[in-house]
Structure 1
């Protein structure tokens, strides 16, 4: 029985994150599909403004702020909602939460570096791999 308890204790957070991540990913997809439909756009279309992504990021930031503001909850709540659901829904909400904490701590050098590095490195990584994959698919 003790070994089952140990297994449960070690696997329990992973199960919460996995379940939450699946739920968050499906929610993000459903919002994107619905909004694309209402705008008359094709899913994953490149035309126009990325309204679904903006909406998901704003909703994720609202949710992570609200949940993180109620700090008297268990690690299970954190694993399921913050890491799982919102991690699957949008990682941007985590980025904004961490940036907000750094601003509140007046840790300006870290905050500026983190924001610039996140946008800069992520842009470069995306642009580079997009270009490489497009070149590869043109062959």
Structure 2
């Protein structure tokens, strides 16, 4: 947060929501049926948001829009950027959405930590530093 700022961390969270949504729609973990974003994925995530005491209900429309943009294959960060900077209350809800998507991924894979492992492998493959 100190090196790039709160806004870029918030935009990064939106990007990760886009990535996880894409994974869940394209290749559901565990080899199950493909998730229908409008009937399965988005409603499952949005219905669970009230379980987070700090999730501001006023932020639900914008985070739903981010999920919809991601499900439609759009650049969710660019879609969200059209509405200005991400306020802290909204950023928090994007974080909850990201957690819910990760939990869904792990549940479908029937293996806790699956998405963490996938993300670590992805970030390691992007590492360009020389040892």
The answer to which structure has the higher helix fraction is 1
Structure with higher Rg: it is 1
TM above 0.5, one fold? no
Q: Please state which band the TM-score falls in when normalised by the shorter chain.
A: 0.3 to 0.5
User: TM-score, normalized by length of structure 2?
Assistant: 0.36
User: TM-score, normalized by length of structure 1?
Assistant: 0.34
